[in-house]
Amino acid sequence: MTRHVRDHPSQETLMTDKPSVLFVCIHNAGRSQMAAAYLHHLSGGAVEVRSAGSAPADQVNPSAVAVMAEEGIDLTAETPKILTTEAVQASDVVITMGCGDTCPIFPGKRYEDWELDDPAGQGVESVRGIRDDIRVRVLDLLDSLGVEPTRT
């Protein structure tokens, strides 16, 4: 479904009704990367997905990469990204994961804070439990957005 939106009387922009979600954590190297990958994977592209960090790391956490590979999801090409005001403004739902007050707040956005252990410095066994918790939360998020998972 599409709709036409007029931002200015002389401008008309075509927009989709696809919901958009931004996952934010401090380093954008573990929790937010796993959540974004799950949402993209489980929604079959029916949700626009972003992730970012308030202080991005140099690379995605190797343990996160390993546990997502167990699920058939490849994070090797992902890189941590800096949180921008534009990313927040472009998202319908903003999910924070331990980043405190660093996420800008805009009226009309849905905000959730997911309390999850930080996988930084943890081994695969510990990160596997965090991954599984994230998967359950992403499935609940899809349900709340009215989007059927394409995979289970």
Please state, in angstroms and rounded to a whole number, the distance separating the CA atoms of residues 52 and 98. Answer: 12
Assigned domain for 63 exists: yes
DSSP bridge pairs for 3: 15
Assigned domain for 151 exists: no
Residue with tokens 């931004």: 22
Assigned domain for 44 exists: yes
State which amino acid sits at residue 24.
V
Assigned domain for 12 exists: no
Please state, in angstroms and rounded to a whole number, the distance separating the CA atoms of residues 14 and 134. Answer: 33
Assigned domain for 88 exists: yes
Identify the CATH number of the domain in which residue 122 sits.
Answer: 3.40.50.2300
Q: Give per-residue pLDDT as tens, 42-88.
A: 999 999 999 999 899 999 999 999 999 999 999 999 999 999 999 99
Q: Give per-residue pLDDT as tens, 87-138.
A: 999 999 999 997 666 677 788 899 999 999 999 999 999 999 999 999 999 9
Nearest to 92 by CA among 52, 48, 32: 48
Domain that holds residue 83: 18-145
The number of folded domains in the chain is 1
